[in-house]
Amino acid sequence: MSMLESTHIECPYCGEVIELLIDCSVDQQSYIEDCFVCCRPILLDIAVDTNGQAQVVARHEDEA
């Protein structure tokens, strides 16, 4: 069984829907990924629930 999950998010800058591959073997993660369309940095907060489903929050890099 693959621990990678494909998910789609909306870029908080340009609004374009982009695809991400999430490593669901890690319960909690935060990292920055550049938008594939506008190249601006997106802060991703990811939590994997008990069913192995990733919950992704995408924010501007400078949001607290």
Cα gap 22→62, rounded to integer Å: 22
**The predicted structure's pLDDT at residue 8:** 95
| DSSP 8-state class, residue 8 | E
Which parts of the chain sit beneath pLDDT 50? none
Report the predicted TM-score, pTM, of the whole model to 2 decimal places. 0.85
DSSP 18-61: EEEEEETTSSEEEEEEE-TTT--EEEEEEEE-TTS-EEEEEEET
